Each structure stands twice: as structure tokens, then as C-alpha cells.
Amino acid sequence: MTNFSELNISESTLRSLQRMGFEEATPIQEGTIKFALEGRDIIGQAQTGTGKTAAFSIPIIEKIDPKNTSIQALIIAPTRELAIQVSEEIYKIGYDKRVKILSVYGGQDIGRQIRALKNRPQIIVGTPGRIIDHINRHTLKLDNVQTLVLDEADEMLNMGFIDDINAILENVPEERQTLLFSATMPPAIRKIATNFMKNPEEVKIKSKEMTVENIDQYFVKSQEREKFEILSRLLNVHQPELAIVFGRTKRRVDELAQALSIRGYLAEGIHGDLSQAKRLSVLRQFKENKIDILVATDVAARGLDISGVTHVYNFDIPQDPESYVHRIGRTGRAGKSGLAVTFVTPREMGYLRIVEETTKKRMTPLRPPSESEALAGQQQISMETLVEIVQANDLGDYRILANELLEQHDAVDLVAAAIKSMTKEPDETPVTITEERPLPMRKDRASGGRSGRDRGPRRDGARGGRPTSRDRNRREGGRRESSERRRPRRRDS
């Protein structure tokens, strides 16, 4: 790998990178920085977790003139969480250069943003809907933008932002540098590149660098109505330290998080309709191990810096294989192993086959654990905890109490009682999970392998049921959560 000091970067930026612990450039960073510093337009095809934020942030910081108080760079991101993360990373990289950065996004008071814009930021990071709002109010002057970045372009397409993107592109100078980053390259994204970019250089992560080698992948074939009970038993058997459960819709996420909480798990949900404060609070709790299970939609989880995830459960199989790779890539990071389980209804097996073709790896069928196996998993945890307490040899006065009990009771009965008291027995409290329709059965036109007889998703990037750009205020978080959900603690805590 190439050291940042070999990439013709200024001393001030190198100091910032050293402070951040960055020494060697990732492949997407090396390719992007080299061409971007030459002034080239770039199409970067890379997934979350490959370091693409620094890949475009470093050239932007290098290019910014700190004496020029105009907006010189505009970065467009699909969600406010990603906009916040990007602005924080740019701030760190440009710290020694004293560059002014401002993030603008839905869900935050626009008056506050207008006041902040009067402080003459040089870099704007924002979501499409709020950027359009500022353009329409004439509060965002983009006449001097030299660098434009489209981050997670395919996700912005999936969220229905394509019209907003085109409108923003019409409002920035033609003479500029454009950097487009996307995990996939559907036709609509290619069209943006054709219409708004000049001879772009393509920087693509090789497929071997996007594999999921450290992740054990399983699938459970089950009916829709059986999925939640199976998930509960799997959680009892697997005992994940940190897990993400992916649901297809916001309603699904809310219901799953509520149901898991009722069953005694420390779970919270995250999706685009929650208030900004609530979403950030949930993420902070997850990172601090205050909750064990994060339930999320694809959009809410994209671009989030989450480490230490041991298990990923796809409660609903995603509609396209690229999303599957994004989801399970949340675990198995930094050389550690991870485990991913995908629930598939009989009618959705074609989608599973196409995912396997994309990842070049067959998933192992997983037999759902029985109630007795789920209980055995909990009992095993209690036994191991008991042994650890004994090995710690810090029992002190408890030995005196133990001897008193042994005078009256059988030793085996006492140990059995201790294990029973520590065991979180499987909870069968009734919960409500609305059944979702299975994915549409579509003939896979591009596949020529063993799935040729199966029905599966289209491979051209199109997805059904996308919202229109008129939904942007709701998507960006304008609607507030009506009430806070109470979460019971674990029964054994």
C-alpha cells in the first residue's frame, strides 16, 4: 500500500492525517487522490468502509483557498447522518488549514442554517432536499464552487433524489471538478456521469477487495409468520455481543424493535422518520454497548461508522445483491470473523440464488433451533458465567453462606438453582409483527448459472416502489417521532 507522504499532499494535511492515525492510503484513496490532485473528474466505485470519505476530502482540502470566503466545494450526501460524518471528517483533515465547513440537512432549523451561512463557510456538506431549499431561498451561493462531490449516488437514486440532484447540478458552474462515488452503477447514475462530467477517470475497487471472506453466511427458509420466533431463538443460541437486524420498511423496523424489547432484549430501531436527536442517541447507545441489537433499514445504516458488530440478521432479504453485501459487511471487519443469517420465504429463493452468484459464495442452510435448543443456549451461558465467577476466586463471605446452605440442601440442587436463577429463559410473550408481502417474482434476465430456472430481481439497478422527490422532507427527517418507546432491561441484568 502507498503511504500518504508519497501522494504529493501538503504538510498541514499530512499532520492532520497523522493525528487521525492515517498512514497508508486504501486503494480508493490512492486512486482518487492521485487523479483528483490533477484536476480530473472521477467516478469512484466503492463500498462503505473503504475510506472513500477521506478519498475526496483530502483533495478538497488541498484545493481550498483559506483566504477565499466563497463556497468552494459542495458535497451532496443521501442522509443527514452521512452528511454529519462527512463534515466531521473533513473538519479533522482540514484542521491545520483552518477551513470553514457547514453541514445543512432536513430536520434542523433552516433559520439556524441561514445564520450559519452568513459566516462564509468554504465547504458545504448537505442532503439534496435541504440544498434545494437553500438554492430556492437564495441563501446558498454556488457561483464559485470548484469541486462537487456526489457521495453514495446510488443510494440517492434509490431514495428518489434524482430530480433534486439534476437541479443542483444545473446551479453549479460548468467549469468545475466533479467526483461521483457509488457502490453500484445503475443506468441513471451513468447518465449523470455522461451529462455532467468531463472524461471522468474511473477508480474501482477490485472484486477481491469487496469480498466477504471473514463472514459465515447462512440462510433460513421459513414462512413470513414464523420469522420472528426463529429470530428470537437464534438470538438466544448465538448470544451476539452486538447485532444488526435489517428490515425492509420503516414499519418493519419499528415493529421488530418493539417486539424484541417486549421479549427482554436491549433493542432499538433506526430509520429516516425518527428525529435527528433520537437517531444519534440510538447510534451512540449502540456504539457504547448500552443496547445489544440495532434494527435498521438499509438507508439508515448506509455510511455509518459502526465497529464491533458480531452478527447481522437479514429479517427481510434485500431486493438487490449489492445491498446484501453492504449489510453483511457490517460484521467481519478488521480481520475479525462475523456471522450473517438471512431469512428467505419460499417465494424469494430466486433472490437468494442471485445473491450467491454475486458474492461467489453459497450460503449454508440453517435449521432453526427448537425451543429446547434455545433454552440450552441460555443455560450454557449461565454455566460459563458461573465458572468464570468461581475462577475469579473472589467469593469471600459468600463461602460462609454456601456452607450454611450445604448443611440443609443437596449440592447439585444448589448449583442447579444458581444456574436456573441466572438463565434468561426464552420468552414467549405475544408480539405483533405485520406480515410483509414477499418480493415480486421477476425473471432474472442476466443470470446464466444455476439460478436460470429461478425467478429473481432485475439486475439493472431498478427497484420497485421508490418515493418521488416530493417526499424529501419526510425522508430527511422532517417528521418527528410521536412518542418514546420504553425498553425493558434484560431479565437477567
For residue 42, the domain's CATH number is: 3.40.50.300
pLDDT at 202 over 70: yes
Please report which confidence band the pLDDT of residue 27 belongs to, taking 50, 70 and 90 as the band edges: confident
Final residue before a domain boundary, out of 186, 208, 230: 208
Q: What pLDDT does 272 receive? A: 72
Whether residue 264 is found in the same domain as residue 204 = no
Final residue before a domain boundary, out of 420, 442, 464: 442
Residues 242 and 265: their CA atoms lie apart, in Å, by 12
Whether residue 196 is found in the same domain as residue 259 = no
Burial 420-459 (b: 16+ CB within 10 A, else e): eebbbebeeeebebeebeebeebebeebeeebeebbbbbb
Residues 492 and 423: their CA atoms lie apart, in Å, by 7
Residue whose C-alpha is closest to residue 118's, from 107, 129, 130, 102: 102
- The answer to whether 144 touches 184, Cβ cutoff 8 Å, is no
Please report which confidence band the pLDDT of residue 221 belongs to, taking 50, 70 and 90 as the band edges: very high
Q: What pLDDT does 211 receive? A: 53
**pLDDT tens across 314-367, in order?**
999 987 777 788 888 888 766 678 899 999 999 899 889 888 887 888 899 999
pLDDT at 306 over 80: no
More confident residue, 7 or 436: 7
Q: Which residues pair with 311 in a beta bridge?
A: 243, 339
Residues 141 and 145: their CA atoms lie apart, in Å, by 9
pLDDT at 174 over 80: yes
% of the chain residues with pLDDT over 70: 84
pLDDT at 491 over 70: no
Whether residue 22 is found in the same domain as residue 143 = yes
Final residue before a domain boundary, out of 180, 208, 236: 208
Please report which confidence band the pLDDT of residue 297 belongs to, taking 50, 70 and 90 as the band edges: confident
Q: Tally Cβ neighbours within 10 Å of residue 241.
A: 11
- The answer to whether 298 touches 318, Cβ cutoff 8 Å, is yes
Residue whose C-alpha is closest to residue 366's, from 453, 237, 265: 237
- In a domain, residue 402? The reply is no
- Provide the whole-model pTM: 0.53
Whether residue 232 is found in the same domain as residue 357 = yes
Please report which confidence band the pLDDT of residue 393 belongs to, taking 50, 70 and 90 as the band edges: confident
Mean pLDDT of the chain: 82
Whether residue 136 is found in the same domain as residue 226 = no
Whether residue 188 is found in the same domain as residue 229 = no
Whether residue 41 is found in the same domain as residue 71 = yes
pLDDT at 449 over 80: no
Supply the range of the domain harboring residue 248: 211-369+428-442
pLDDT at 19 over 70: yes
Cell of residue 489, nine digits: 432491561
Whether residue 154 is found in the same domain as residue 299 = no
Whether residue 95 is found in the same domain as residue 179 = yes
Whether residue 265 is found in the same domain as residue 131 = no
Please report which confidence band the pLDDT of residue 404 belongs to, taking 50, 70 and 90 as the band edges: confident
pLDDT at 492 over 80: no
Phi, psi of 332, rounded to the nearest 5 degrees? 70, 30
Q: Worst-scoring range by mean pLDDT, 55-59, 104-108, 203-207? A: 203-207
- In a domain, residue 401? The reply is no
Cα dihedral 329→79→466→183 (10° resolution): -40
- In a domain, residue 186? The reply is yes
Domain count, the chain: 2
Whether residue 182 is found in the same domain as residue 35 = yes
Whether residue 229 is found in the same domain as residue 188 = no
**pLDDT tens across 246-287, in order?**
998 889 999 999 999 998 899 999 887 777 778 888 888 888
**pLDDT tens across 471-481, in order?**
444 444 433 33
Please report which confidence band the pLDDT of residue 47 belongs to, taking 50, 70 and 90 as the band edges: low
Q: Which residues pair with 43 in a beta bridge?
A: 180, 202
